[in-house]
Amino acid sequence: MNNLNKMDINRTHCLHMRRLLIDTYQERVVYMRSDCQAYQSEGFEAKSRVEVWRGEQHIIASLHVVHSSSMLALDEVGLSEAAWSALGGADGDTIQVKRPAPLQSFSSVRAKIYDQRFTSKSISLVVQDVVAGRYSDIEMAALITACSGSRMDVSETIALTEAMIAVGQRMQWNSDRVVDKHCIGGLPGNRTTLLVVPIVAACGLTIPKTSSRAITSPAGTADTMETMAPVKLDIPRIKRVVERENGCIAWGGAVNLSPADDLLIRVENPLGLDSEGLMVASILSKKIAAGSTHVVIDIPVGPSAKIRSLDAAHILSARLVAVGSALGITVQTVITDGAQPVGRGVGPALEALDVLDVLQNAATAPDDLRQRALLLAAKVLELGQKAQPGEGMALARTVLESGAAWHKFQAICEAQGGFRQPPKAMYTHEMTSEHRGRVVAIDNQVIARIAKLAGAPKVPAAGLTFHAPLGSVLEVGQPYLTIHAQSPGELAYARSYAESQKNLISLQ
């Protein structure tokens, strides 16, 4: 029998890191040669999870195995961009690669899949491991799926929300009444935030609004705002903007208010999953971390909106109010009509143009966007005690029509770094009606998908303008939709998809 001493057993392998300049999105990948000693003696295999140490720093990553000598030297470990930026350091730094400890918290995800409930403790450990980068993409996908549909009860949602707040930054304000508004989304073009914030801020309420970029949609509020002003503000900058102008419209991702949510979203997004529990935790964790005390939440309902029935809207509403109340904030929901896109533009710059028309009281301004924004601003003004119940609408309208809102919007843009005009796309294509008839239905998801295929939100000028609201009458050959793109390929792709979708609009 061979006798091995402790030195052999505890030996580690000295390796050197190398940036391979491979972009794997946010997945952390490391590359090792199959003939390297560490790979062989540790018994790794392709897709093993490994722990990479550089001094006191470490990350967990997925292993891709290289069977050639041209990419890496024998003692080199390659890092993908995400792994590189997470680990820090420089080419040639000494690193060690080991097996990670088993991911203990995943056993509670497995238990959840088998119909057991999360506890405060177990969900908090899951969220900590997610934020530490210990979950692989497929483990994240399993976690999100296990929490989707109606699988999270109120107490699990409260626990998840608390756990998400605990791992992020938190903002403090001097005001005892800090308002906010949020929209559940799913309605292309619904950019009311860019109108509500200036109206409300012009009335003196504190509204430190952080918005997200698009998750599954062709534009998020932050994407749209970014076509007019910088949105990547850190917390001190947000504080300065809000102190000067009462409000801001910043990108939430820059301030790490809910880092767990940001990570979950990168897997929710390609899966196209929106779950009640995750949605409530995602929204409220960010509002609470932003220091809000009173929040109005817009829930659009429509056959192709994110929420499709009044029942579902009422359930979500009750969940938001209950979880908010348990965590000490006042939530008021407004259920609105989500049957069709709001305004004309879909895509960051095209939506910004609609917003500017409303702010400037242009004759051509889309009235649906204007009315929705006034309604929500009215609710926020009433909740913020700047108007008596029932009198918020009149105040909001005055502020908008007087130009005070437009003035405030420009001031906020200036405070955030300077106002700019939204860009225009290089290529457009008009879709024309093949039949005559009245528009009786519009598929929002097809609309959103066309805009995304055209390049939105990554290409700010891309998207579409929609010319055929419900009830309008189309003649044969009349344009009902214009696709905007910055490359012929994207224009062609969006067009070919649009042409294949018979349910885009229904005529009668």
Instruction: Give 146-187 as a DSSP string.
Output: HT-TT---HHHHHHHHHHHHHTS-----S-S-BEEEEE---S
Nearer to its own copies, 132 or 138 (CB): 138
Q: Which is nearer to its own copies, 406 or 480 (CB)?
A: 480
Minimum CB distance to its own copies, residue 142 (Å): 4
The residues facing 248 across adjacent strands are 208
| CA angle, 278 then 265 then 231, to 5° | 115
Contacts of 193 (CB under 8 A, 6+ apart): 181, 183, 209, 211, 221, 249
Q: Which residues pair with 464 in a beta bridge?
A: 346, 483
What does the H/E/C string look like for 265-283? HHHHHHHCCCCHHHHHHHH
DSSP state of 459: S
Closest CA relative to residue 121, chosen from 174, 167, 163, 158 = 163
Taking the C-alpha atoms of residue 482 and residue 463, their distance in angstroms, rounded to an integer, is 8
Query: Which residue, among 223, 201, 203, has the nearest Cα to 212 in the 3D structure?
Result: 223
| Closest CB 225 distance from its own copies, rounded Å | 22
CB nearer its own copies, residue 168 or residue 463: 463
As a whole number of angstroms, the distance between CA 297 and CA 317 comes to 9
Q: Select which of 274, 337, 368, 443 is catalytic.
A: 274
Shortest distance, position 407 Cβ to its own copies, whole Å: 35
**Residue 215, burial from CB neighbour count under 10 angstroms (0-12, 13-18, 19+):** middle
Pick between residue 306 and residue 372 the one whose CB is nearest to its own copies. Answer: 306
Q: Is 274 a catalytic residue?
A: yes
* 25 φ, ψ (degrees, to nearest 5): 60, -135
Helices 193-202, 404-416: crossing angle, 10 deg rounding: 100
Tell me the three state secondary structure of residue 15. strand
69/402 with CB nearer its own copies: 69
CB of 207 to its own copies, least distance (A): 33
The continuous run of DSSP H or E covering 79 comes out as strand 76-79
Q: How far is the CB of 35 from its own copies (least distance, A)?
A: 11
Instruction: Kindly state the smallest distance separating residue 245's Cβ from its own copies, in Å.
Output: 35
Q: Calculate the dihedral angle through the C-alpha atoms of 233, 237, 239, 240, rounding to the nearest 10 degrees.
A: -140
> SS3 letters for 476-498?
CCCEEEEEEECCHHHHHHHHHHH
Is the distance from CB of 221 to CB of 194 less than 8 angstroms?
Answer: yes
DSSP lists the bridge partners of residue 17 as 77
Q: How far is the CB of 93 from its own copies (least distance, A)?
A: 19
Cβ of residue 343: shortest distance to its own copies, in angstroms?
22
Could you tell me if 38 and 51 are in contact, meaning their C-beta atoms sit under 8 angstroms apart?
A: no
Residues 322/324/325/330 CA torsion (nearest 10 deg): -120
Least Cβ distance, residue 19 to its own copies (angstroms): 9
> Between 47 and 420, whose beta carbon lies closer to its own copies?
47
- Catalytic residue numbers read 274
